[in-house]
Amino acid sequence: MNMPGATQPRRFCRSGPLHGRILVPGDKSISHRAIMLASLAVGTSTITGLLESADVTATAAAMRATGASIEQVKPGVWRIDGVGVGSLLQPAAALDMGNSGTSTRLLMGLFASHGIQTVFTGDASLSRRPMGRVIQPLALMGAQFTVNADDTLPLTMRGADPAVPIHYRLQVASAQVKSAILLAALNTAGSTIVVEPTPTRDHTERMLRGFGANLSIDIGDDGARIITMQGPQDLHPCDIEVPGDPSSAAFFVVAALLVPGSDLTIANVGMNPTRAALLDVLRAMGGSIEEEDHRVIGGEPVADLRVRHSELKGIEIDPASTAAMIDEFPILFVAAALASGRTVTQGLEELRVKESDRLAVMSAALTFAGASVEEHADGLTIEGTGGAMLRGTLPGQSIATMLDHRIAMSMAIAGLVSEAGVTVDDMRPVATSFPQFERLLGDVQCR
C-alpha cells in the first residue's frame, strides 16, 4: 500500500476497564453497495450513516466519473442522483481504487454489462491481490479484459454490449464474486443464475430488493443457495440508513471481553446472520455478549451489544463458519491468545490474499508480543495464556503490520492486555475502514 505522509507509529498500553456506550461507523460493505445502486437508480436517494473512509470514497469517486451526482449533505449524510441502469458514461481517466478490493471487484461487475471501457488502478497492496475469480464469470458474460499475467491490477475492461446471461456456480465462497455477477445481471437480458454452495454475506441481495430489483432465492437439493435475476432491471431511488459495521465493532467486543472489569455497550451494530459468526464463536469461548433492542434498519437486522469481561476458553473453530467471519479472524486470534487452552483454526487460505498474508503477519505479530502461535498452511493454532497478560513489545520495538488496517487495530487491542504495551508500526491504514478507531478507544478508556 502506498500511504501519503510519514508513518504513524502508536503505542497502546495496558488498560483499565472499558466502560460506556459507543457507536461504530457505518458498515463498509453496505456503504459500497448503497453508493453503487443509488447511482443506478433514476432519481434521488439519501444515504445516512455512510462510512466516510478512504475505501468508500473511492467507490463514490468512480460513480461520479461514470455520471452519477454524489453530494455530501453533512457528515454521514449523502445525496445521490442516479443515471439509470444502462446509462453509465465512459470515465475520462483511469479509476484509482486505492486499497479497496471491494470497490474494484464490485465495480468490475457493475460496468461489465455496460458498453464502456474502464481502466482500474490501485496502490501497491491492491495491485497484488487476485482479480481472476471475478474476471472469469464476467468474461463468460462477454466482458473483455487486458490484464497482467497473474490477473492483478492495473487492468482494462471493456464492458459487453449486450451482455450474456450465465449460470455460474461459485468456485470459492466469495460475496464479492457473487455480487459482481448480480450487478452485471442488472443490465443483462435473460436469467442470470448464481449458485452459492456456502452462504456468504447477503447485503447485495437485500439491497437490490430494496431498490426494486426482482430476484429470487431458492435452496437446491444439495443445500446450495440459487439466486436468479431476470434482467434487465430498473431501480427506483430509496433512502438507506447504514447500520454500524460488525467488523469494526469486533475490535471493541474483543477488547471488552479481555480487559478485566469492562462493561461496554456498542450501539446500532448490524446483526446480519451472514456476518454474525464471530459473536457465536466468542460466546462458545465463554464470552458474555448480550444483544439488546433488536430492530430492522434499511432491511438489515440491528441490535445493541452489551459486552462484559469474561474468562475465555480455547476451542476448535468449525471451518464452515469461515465465510461469515472472514474479516474478523485477526481480532479473534488476539482473543485466542488470552484464552485458556488451545484454539485451532483451519480452512483460512483466503486470509493469505487479503491486504496482507494475514495468517503469516498475525502469527509473527502475536509471537513477537509473547503469544504461543503455530502457523499452518490454512490456519493458526494458538495456545492461550489463560487470561495472563501478554509480554508486549519493548521500547524501540514495533509490530510489523504490513500496512494492513485490520492487523494494526488487532494488535492495538493486544496492547491493552500486555504488560509492556504494544507499539504498532503505522496506524495510517486504519483510515481505509475505521478513521475514528483511536478516538473511540480513548473515549471508552477515559469514562
Q: Which domains does the chain have, with CATH numbers?
A: 10-26+243-446 (3.65.10.10), 28-230 (3.65.10.10)
Could you tell me how many residues make up the chain?
A: 447
Using alpha carbons, list the distances in angstroms from residue 128 to 5, 74, 206, 210, 330: 22, 35, 31, 34, 20
Greatest distance between any 2 Cα atoms in the chain: 63
CA 104, CA 123: separation in Å to the nearest integer? 12
In this prediction, residue 184 carries a pLDDT of 98
The one-letter amino acid code at 118 reads: T
pLDDT value, residue 76: 86
Q: Which amino acids are annotated catalytic?
A: 327
378 and 348 Cβ atoms separated by less than 8 Å: yes
Residue 250 to residues 109, 169, 270, 330, 383: CA-CA distances in angstroms?
29, 31, 11, 10, 21
Q: Please tell me the predicted confidence (pLDDT) of residue 130.
A: 87
Closest by Cα among 171, 174, 110, 176 to 141: 110
Sequence letter at residue 215: L
Supply angle C-alpha 82, 165, 110, rounded to 5: 30
Predicted pLDDT of residue 4:
67
Q: How far is CA 247 from the centre of its chain?
A: 7
Please tell me the distance from the alpha carbon of residue 259 to that of residue 311, in angstroms, as a whole number: 10
pLDDT at res. 270: 96
Give yes or no for a contact between 194 and 186, defined as CB atoms under 8 angstroms apart: no
**The predicted structure's pLDDT at residue 446:** 55
What tens digit of pLDDT does each residue of 214-234 get? 999 999 999 999 999 999 999
Contacts for 232 with CB less than 8 Å, ≥ 6 apart: 85, 86, 186, 187, 188, 189
Q: Residue 261: its pLDDT value, please?
A: 97
Is the pTM here over 0.95, yes or no? no
Q: Which run of H or E residues covers position 158?
A: strand 155-158
Taking each helix axis from N to C end, the angle separating 28-40 and 54-65, rounded to the nearest 10 degrees, works out to 10
Residues of the chain with pLDDT under 70: 1-2, 4, 446-447
C-alpha cell at position 111: 460496468
Cβ atoms of 10 and 424 within 8 Å: the answer is yes
In terms of DSSP H, where are the helices of 219-319?
Answer: 246-258, 277-284
**Residue whose C-alpha is closest to residue 201's, from 32, 76, 54, 332:** 32
| Cell numbers found for residue 249 | 465493532
d(CA 122, CA 7): 20
- Calpha distance 113→257 (Å, rounded): 47
Which pLDDT does position 2 carry in this prediction?
Answer: 60
Cα 327 to Cα 141: distance, rounded to the nearest angstrom: 29
Residue 179 cell numbers, joined? 455480487
Distance CA 310, CA 289 (A): 9
Cis before residue 330, ω within 30 degrees of 0? no
Q: Binding-site residues, please?
A: 28-29, 33, 101, 129, 174, 176, 327, 354, 358, 406
User: How far apart, in whole angstroms, are the C-alpha atoms of residue 296 and residue 302?
Assistant: 6
Angle at CA 17, nearest 5°, toward 12 and 23?
80
Nearest to 192 by CA among 221, 212, 163, 172: 163
CA 238, CA 65: separation in Å to the nearest integer? 22
Binding residues for 3-phosphoshikimate: 28-29, 33, 174, 176, 327, 354
Q: What pLDDT is attached to residue 134?
A: 97
> Residue 386, Cα to own-chain centre: how many angstroms?
30
Q: In this structure, what C-alpha cell is assigned to residue 257?
A: 471481553
**For residue 373, what is its C-alpha cell?**
502461535
- At residue 447, the pLDDT reads 46
Positions at the binding site for phosphoenolpyruvate: 28, 101, 129, 176, 358, 406
Report how far Cα 358 is from the mean position of its chain's Cα atoms: 14
Angle of the 329-338 helix axis to the 246-258 helix axis, nearest 10: 10
Q: Supply 395's cell numbers.
A: 521500547
